[in-house]
Amino acid sequence: MTYDPDNIFAKILRDEIPCIKVYEDDLTLAFMDIMPQAEGHTLVIPKTEAQDLFNLEPDMASALIRTTQKVAKAVKKGLKPKGVMLAQLNGAAAGQSVFHIHFHIIPRQGGIDLTLHARDQADMSKIQEIAEKIKAALE
């Protein structure tokens, strides 16, 4: 499978569709998942064309995990969940639905607290409110 430049995250990177941004640097972008599996569900993507981990340059993989750690720390500090789960899916069989590599940062409260993957769009003003808490906690 080759990279499709019209995937939704590529469109976000080109500013063709909006996102609720929490962090950006030269190599990466972090924004809120609009169909969150838990309150505070955040996504981190590299600014390079790679559909999955197997097509990502090592230097970009480093940048991606550095930003993921930075934003996960802000999620932990800003939202104070009991735990923080990271997920990264490769291939449709693994559940990947957007073919531009990304890490999921999902706050967890314990037990069965996740809603279904990429299913229901949440209230955007509520997501915006949560994003502000994450941004305020960024170091």
Known catalytic residues are: 102
Strand order in the sheet with 28-32: 21-24, 28-32, 42-46, 103-108, 83-87
Site track for ligand AMP across 20-49, x = CB under 6 A? -------------xxx-------x------
Q: How far is the CB of 25 from ligand AMP (least distance, A)?
A: 19
User: Looking at beta carbons only, is 50 or 139 nearer to ligand AMP?
Assistant: 50
Span interacting with ligand AMP, options 48-56, 61-69, 89-97, 126-134, rule CB under 6 A: 89-97
The whole-angstrom separation of Cα 50 and Cα 59 is 13
Q: Tokens 């969940």 correspond to what residue?
A: 81
Tell me the one-letter amino acid at 128.
Q
Count of residues making up the chain:
139
- Candidates 62, 97, 115, 128; binder of ligand AMP (CB under 6 A) is 97
Place of tokens 């640097």: 25
* From candidates 95, 115, 120, 124, binder to ligand AMP by CB under 6 A: 95
